[in-house]
Structure 1
């Protein structure tokens, strides 16, 4: 499990998901865009939902448990970035959910 540190709070996330979020979040913040980042907390960790307003003015840090970065999935990255433009903001989703999200949006899932 890695850690997303934002606004003096740490959030534990799977390293693979965190790697993809890092790329997607950085691409938005680099363009000076603020956006909402949301995810569901699993029942084994208390249940519920978390939403963060991601702003270029607030420092963000990523700490990974593993030493080797995972291979990036461009389809997953596309789904994360596209979801940031929706009313719910960027949704931290699984790789399988990313394919479903893009299909529902009528977008291509070809890498």
Structure 2
């Protein structure tokens, strides 16, 4: 399991595949210098509730992966997460959607390929 390190001190665990999708969506927002909320459902071990953080270009983020391979990217899920990030509620992590296979690209694949 990878980690999103927020502000240099707070570590939030996510599977590497989830983390790869988050890195792309968050990167798109931060390149435009946009702040936004990011929320997710907590695991049962920490209360089974929801958590949210404010993501801002001034707050350092580290995406730390546990595995050495780049996860494939599900374009359909990526689009859903991107749309969510532009809503008033901010980026809400949802379960992965879409067909696997044709909709997936390697994280190493340059855009447009």
Q: TM-score band (shorter)?
A: 0.7 to 0.9
Structure 2: runs of 5 or more not aligned: 104-113
Q: Higher strand fraction: Structure 1 or Structure 2? A: 2
TM-score by length of 2: 0.80
Q: Higher helix fraction: Structure 1 or Structure 2? A: 1
TM-score by length of 1: 0.82
On the 8 A contact 1:17/1:94 being kept in 2, the answer is no
Shift of 1:87: 2.7
Runs of 4+ in 1 over 6 A off after TM superposition: none
Of residues 53-62 and 83-92 in structure 1, the stretch that sits farther from structure 2 once superposed is 83-92
Q: Size of the alignment, in residue pairs?
A: 99
* Structure 1 vs Structure 2 CA RMSD: 1.6
Structure 1: runs of 5 or more not aligned: 100-110
Q: Deviations over 1:48-96 (max 9, x none)?
A: 1110110011110010011001111111111111101223210111212
